[in-house]
Structure 1
């Protein structure tokens, strides 16, 4: 019977920490051990495996091809061990959960839901970041991101949280100054607010005279997130096309007016929680996603709310 290697998980944890911290000394400080102890553990690991995992120079530390593969496997195994410990301890969720979401969705749904989530999981640290930009989950060490719209083909796994159609809208103050568009073509004479992270020429979809069209729009203001755009529209800066979940309460209160609803294509924008695949879903990520689904499933704002045509 082969000898049981009791030290494997410890070697993996030290190796993973060296990669995370970018060096032996930094890893030693984070683990509260000496740099020489880290060096000996890595040397013992490489000797046992019979291959070099790290290339060390005075300026940098680089993973070999074998090191890359072992690092990926080690992270998965360490997460499985952590999840097993948590399950055995009665399902308590521990550690740090890094969540990235868009500013509108985070402000409206994630942030208000966090007090109850933290109360339910007091041993978990939730690290929240809000941005509408593209996020590299691996490079940014993000556990789960929440994004709107179509997802590109990738190794990411997605769970649907909800959906919302989009609506063209403006503030009453803007319409008093500039008038109300009656057809998509009328938008040529209006200030239309667009996003600066879209490289293609801005256009909005409509159904006009029985066919789908893409109406080009222009304006003197572009922004990088939906919340800023909503604030600009509320201030009367122009017309925007935003997620209905984001502006439904402002429309109901009369602060915004829906436009061209008779030719709105009704296209749904799906809202997903996305995470990196390639192994079992970490317990802390699974608990968060299930909690958000539970929290959001009854929200009428995420079911494609209908408005009276205008």
Structure 2
């Protein structure tokens, strides 16, 4: 078939639908096609590319490595097409879907309150929000923007700083009344120090002791997968937690959580960045709109 007669965008759209629907039959229903037509289209695509994209069986649907790569690129191409068409229709207004990953803490305390304004400003943009504290591979997980805490390693990602915040050790008043309020580093030995259940750059709580800074191990009987879960554990009296200030500022003001050991706080701060793929290349309007909005409204302190 001549190259000009191949509907590449149509093939990509059906293939992406097969992947996202989890099979040929579901994709056929979504695209109002027959399952055999969807299967033949994918088979034609594989023949033209000279690569198997999908391992087929009666019980399982699995992408091959080549299929994963093609899917990632196809989703971006289709998003760019959607954006180009939307821009022509709407005077270059950003349109399309943005996949954003961020921590539950940032999503809860910073992003959620400002999202209505973003939606009002950009009605053609839809947001797919994924909450996780782990560092995701933006390309592998088809992510447009990630908001990350802490230092950034050198990479091909582009970063925009969203401010930085201090850290504070807190506990619920009921917990402190039961177990006592620590006044020294040694006092922490008698407390349940709850922390995150994954490896971090700094393992332990940095504390000022004389002229030095020491790391206090986090050996609580409860661990959590993200900072917001730690906050909830602290609020319900499970122990002490060291958290970013912006996540507990309202709790402290309302008396739900009480800061402890502030004279020994070393004053370390955690930076937040919005990162995206695109070094040396154009940034889609929808992604640029979100980055500009976060820089304006989504800063931490």
Q: Give the 3 Å change call, closer, same or farther, for CA 202–62 of structure 1 in structure 2.
A: closer
Structure 2 residue corresponding to 1:285, chosen from 284, 287, 301: 287
Q: Give the 3 Å change call, closer, same or farther, for CA 203–3 of structure 1 in structure 2.
A: closer
Deviates more, 1:238-247 or 1:127-136: 127-136
Query: 3-state DSSP class of the match of 2:38?
Result: helix
Q: Distance in 2 between matches of 1:176 and 1:235?
A: 13
Q: Distance in 2 between matches of 1:256 and 1:66?
A: 51
Shift of 1:242: 0.8
Q: Give the 3 Å change call, closer, same or farther, for CA 14–185 of structure 1 in structure 2.
A: same
Match of 1:42 in 2: 42
Q: Give the 3 Å change call, closer, same or farther, for CA 20–154 of structure 1 in structure 2.
A: farther
Q: Residues 212-251 of structure 1: matches in 2 within 5 Å?
A: 212-251=213-252
Shift of 1:163: 1.5
Q: Distance in 2 between matches of 1:200 and 1:6?
A: 50
1:54 aligns with 2:56: no
Shift of 1:40: 4.2
Kept in 1: contact 2:82–2:96 (CA 8 A): no
Q: Distance in 2 between matches of 1:280 and 1:16?
A: 23
Deviations 1:263-290 (A, max 9, x none): 3222221223344568754443332232
Shift of 1:205: 0.9
Q: Distance in 2 between matches of 1:277 and 1:27?
A: 31
Deviations 1:104-153 (A, max 9, x none): 22121111112121122223333434444665656765543433234567
1:160 aligns with 2:154: no
Match of 1:75 in 2: 75
Q: Give the 3 Å change call, closer, same or farther, for CA 200–63 of structure 1 in structure 2.
A: closer
Q: Give the 3 Å change call, closer, same or farther, for CA 88–201 of structure 1 in structure 2.
A: closer
Match of 1:191 in 2: 192
RMSD over aligned CA atoms reads 3.5
Kept in 2: contact 1:207–1:264 (CA 8 A): yes
Kept in 2: contact 1:188–1:218 (CA 8 A): no
Match of 1:266 in 2: 267
Match of 2:23 in 1: 23
Q: Residues 43-122 of structure 1: matches in 2 within 5 Å?
A: 43-49=43-49, 51-54=50-53, 56-59=55-58, 60=60, 63=63, 67-89=67-89, 90-122=91-123
Shift of 1:295: 0.8
Shift of 1:204: 0.9
Query: 3-state DSSP class of the match of 1:163?
Result: strand
Q: Distance in 2 between matches of 1:256 and 1:9?
A: 54
Gaps of at least 5 residues in structure 2 are: none
TM-score w.r.t. structure 2 length? 0.79
Kept in 2: contact 1:11–1:42 (CA 8 A): yes
Query: 3-state DSSP class of the match of 1:187?
Result: helix
Q: Give the 3 Å change call, closer, same or farther, for CA 244–200 of structure 1 in structure 2.
A: closer
Match of 1:182 in 2: 183
Q: Distance in 1 between matches of 2:57 and 2:225?
A: 41
TM-score w.r.t. structure 1 length? 0.77
Q: Give the 3 Å change call, closer, same or farther, for CA 185–82 of structure 1 in structure 2.
A: same
Query: 3-state DSSP class of the match of 2:129?
Result: strand
Q: Give the 3 Å change call, closer, same or farther, for CA 3–120 of structure 1 in structure 2.
A: same
Match of 2:211 in 1: 210
Query: 3-state DSSP class of the match of 1:52?
Result: coil
Aligned residues: 297
Q: Distance in 2 between matches of 1:207 and 1:253?
A: 27
